[in-house]
Chains A and B, each alone.
Chain A
Amino acid sequence: GAVVSQHPSRVICKSGTSVKIECRSLDFQATTMFWYRQFPKQSLMLMATSNEGSKATYEQGVEKDKFLINHASLTLSTLTVTSAHPEDSSFYICSASRQGNTEAFFGQGTRLTVV
């Protein structure tokens, strides 16, 4: 299967600071990547669709100015949580699909803790 890598796996930051999370497709090109958020003991919720070379598409209720997404290449999408607050603490997970293929490959997730 294809490999999707996220970095960092864990991050702790202070309130008010920004944190960048990277999602890389290691052995395939991904024109589309997806960002999910998962609170403890809950399911994954789609936050946004990251499109290479264009603006991301955000789900209803997700603030695009707070969760900045950049998909500058076919193998890298970044999610920046700006002015983080404790309620942003969560498990952030990305996924990517090969072009023309619906199977999604997930990264290992990033545990964000805002103190």
Chain B
Amino acid sequence: GESVGLHLPTLSVQEGDNSIINCAYSNSASDYFIWYKQESGKGPQFIIDIRSNMDKRQGQRVTVLLNKTVKHLSLQIAATQPGDSAVYFCAENLGGADGLTFGKGTHLIIQP
């Protein structure tokens, strides 16, 4: 079936730098996209979401960009901190009361 994928399994950035995590999705019918952060041994933590009628959404230190033309989703984290170290997953669904399809995950490593 169709699924959401990621470009890089590991991303290493210097503390204080900005990081960009990418995600490619294949289901053009997807209407709702979410980024989650997962720390070791814990459940996913909601970061930010975006609907298909938008191309950008900003939160605190995070921005999600959606490019429907190329089916690409990205998460930008500004001024990364040690606490940002985690695995980040994108997820998508059709916008209704459906379960989520998760991407493979990117392990973000913050170097001092």
Contacts and interface: CB of A to CB of B under 8 A. Distances in A.
Given A43-B89, A97-B97, A106 B44 contact: yes
A102 interface: yes
B95 A102 contact: yes
Contacts of B34: 103-104
Given A43-B104, A109-B41, A102 B46 contact: no
Interface of A: 1, 6, 32, 34, 36, 42-46, 49, 59-60, 91, 93, 95, 97, 102-109, 111
B101 A106 contact: no
Contacts of B89: 43-44
B42 A34 contact: no
Interface residues on B, range: 20 to 34
Q: Is the interface of A mostly helix, strand, loop or mixed?
A: strand
Given A93-B44, A106-B45, A108-B42, A46 B99 contact: yes
Q: Is the interface of B mostly helix, strand, loop or mixed?
A: loop
24 contacts: A6-B43, A36-B102, A42-B105, A43-B102, A43-B103, A44-B89, A44-B100, A44-B102, A46-B99, A49-B98, A49-B99, A59-B99, A91-B41, A93-B44, A95-B100, A102-B95, A103-B46, A105-B46, A106-B36, A106-B45, A107-B43, A108-B42, A109-B41, A111-B41
Contacts of A49: 98-99
Q: Which 5 A-B pairs have the closest CB atoms?
A: A106-B43, A46-B99, A43-B102, A34-B99, A109-B43
Interface in B33-54: 34, 36, 41-46, 49
Given A34-B99, A95-B100, 20 more contacts: A1-B46, A43-B89, A44-B100, A44-B102, A45-B102, A46-B100, A59-B99, A95-B99, A97-B97, A103-B34, A103-B49, A104-B34, A104-B46, A104-B100, A105-B46, A106-B43, A106-B45, A108-B42, A108-B43, A109-B42
B22 interface: no
